[in-house]
Amino acid sequence: MSKLPKALLMGFVLIVAVRHMDCQAADAKLWKPASYHGLVMGKSTDTDVRTVLGKPESTGKEEDTGDPILVYKTSDPAPGMLNVYIHKGILSSMDLQLSKSMSQRDLIRLLGNKYVIAHYSFDECLDDGEDGVPVYEDPNGQLTHIEYRDRGIWAPLDPGGSAEEIVFISKSLIPTHSLCKGSNKKK
């Protein structure tokens, strides 16, 4: 696979950094698994993915886990490359790397008005120097997402309010508070 774009790397940092954390997720009861062409994150199988989406443009493996990644060229819901992540034979998530960035207004036009704007901060005390820094939901955070929690969809926004990717997940794994509070680790 070719070098990963910056937006995809940021998505990896957010997803991988919180993957194994056992804590309350951001408004977990509000998050529902995403569905894409009838494929449900956390439920559909690798076979289901290949039946619905066909032969991928390319394949690869996640660097940390070795889990398969299938890559498809798509135009739905917008033109770009759809990265499909499979974990133990089950569709875990997808991210659509947009062919061209979309403004927040265009995302809302595309995905609808039932969204929330969420902010996240890095949990610096948990930085191990290897896997990236985990994040937590923080109303004053420097990272901004537009989220469709009832549909399992989020998109990170850059400081100008544009997105380069749309992410489809089965549930949020991002904690609602910093895990640094009370920690002996330095911030």
Q: What is the pLDDT of residue 167?
A: 97
pTM comes to 0.79
DSSP, residue by residue, 40-82: ETTTSBHHHHHHHH-S-SEEEE-TTT--EEEEEEE-SSSSEEE
What gap in Å lies between CA 99 and CA 96, rounded to an integer?
A: 9
Helix, strand, coil % (nearest 5) of the chain? Answer: 20, 35, 45
What confidence tens digit (pLDDT) does each residue in 127-148 have?
A: 666 667 788 899 999 999 999 9
The low-confidence residues of the chain, meaning pLDDT below 50, are 1-26, 28, 183-187
Per-residue confidence (pLDDT) for residue 177, from 0 to 100 = 79
Quick one: pLDDT at residue 17? 37
pLDDT, residue 10, reads 47
